[in-house]
Structure 1
Amino acid sequence: MKTESLEVSYRATTYRVFLPGGEVELRIGEANVALARWLAGEGASTWAILTAHNPASKPLTVTENAELQSQLECALLEQDCMTFSGENAADDEVWPNEESCFVPDINIKNSMALARRFGQNAYVFGEGDGLPRLVWVEENIQ
């Protein structure tokens, strides 16, 4: 569920992506030239950062989060998605870091379906320009 406090929290997070050639740090609303270059080199026009940790922003145990993340990774493999490891790190360090998957060339419908399936309130989606945007799962994507 979209709330002002969740919006602030998601925007006060660094989304790290571990790509071949190095780590990229992303912030909502801030274009990343290194990511745009990497996407162009891969011929990827869209991408998403997905996690299965802490569904509905309710803290789970390390074991529960690991199991859910494993299920997400299996779902991505079943869809023949290429994935790279990521980590979502809150600025305030109160919320624990969350493991994530960077998924190039996933469209918004598929990424939305996965975020919804794993109980997420929102996720990060972008296009070839490397500009991360916050997408709320409740949004109606046609």
Structure 2
Amino acid sequence: MTSIEAAFRATTYRVTTPEGGFALRIGVTDRAFDDFLGRLPDALNPSDSPAIRAKAGSSAVSTRSGWGILTAYNPGVLLAEHDNRLRQERLRDRLAASGRHFLPACNLADDGAWPPEPSYLVLDVNEQQIVALGREFCQLAVVWGRRGAVPQLLWI
């Protein structure tokens, strides 16, 4: 295993939902998160977050195709906070324009060697779609999963 792969695996992918937070890990099942996914779209109230408000009026949320976590931060190199914030705003705008449901998340390195990276949980997305978004924002990898399966690391 390369050091970069080890770093991705030694990270908690914390997702914030209207029902609370979930701490997801590559290769580890999270039954509570799966239960949350099973309650969609009822678990999502459009007034709960700006990301969800972008989809207000639509109740078509599915997790059959899966979900993904991605960030626009630090695309292979450590960038200044201002640059990262601008990139993350572009990602948020891109997700909103795509009509996808998404929620805030944050990637937290176990050893604290890398600063916390804001990210998004993108719902109703397949592997090719989340990889394409990651590629668009120059990422090395993204997290992808589906209900009843462990989260996977997808290299770009």
Do the structures match in fold with TM over 0.5? yes
Matched, 1:129 2:154: no
- Report the alpha carbon displacement of residue 130 of structure 1 after superposing the two structures with TM: 5.0
Q: Secondary structure at the match of 1:55?
A: coil
- Choose from 52, 75, 81 the match for 2:72: 52
Q: Secondary structure at the match of 1:44?
A: coil
Give the partner amino acid of 2:6: V
Q: Distance in 2 between matches of 1:8 and 1:110?
A: 24
Q: Give CA-to-partner distance per residue, 1:41-98, whole Å, 9 cap, x none.
A: 1142200001000002x00011000000011111111110111000000011010000
Relative to the length of structure 2, the TM-score reads 0.83
Query: Aligned residue pairs: how many?
Result: 134
Structure showing greater radius of gyration is: 2
Relative to the length of structure 1, the TM-score reads 0.91
Q: CA RMSD in A?
A: 1.1
Give the partner amino acid of 1:120: Q
Paired residue for 1:10? Answer: 8
Paired residue for 1:140? Answer: none
Give the partner amino acid of 1:30: V
- Choose from 70, 79, 89 the match for 2:98: 79
Larger RCO: Structure 1 or Structure 2 (Cα < 8 Å, ≥ 6 residues apart)?
1
- Choose from 95, 102, 106 the match for 2:114: 95
Q: Percent identity?
A: 38
Q: Distance in 2 between matches of 1:44 and 1:110?
A: 14
> Contact between 1:48 and 1:104, CA under 8 Å: does it hold in 2?
yes
- Report the alpha carbon displacement of residue 136 of structure 1 after superposing the two structures with TM: 0.4
Which of structure 1's runs of 4+ aligned residues deviate more than 6 A?
Answer: none
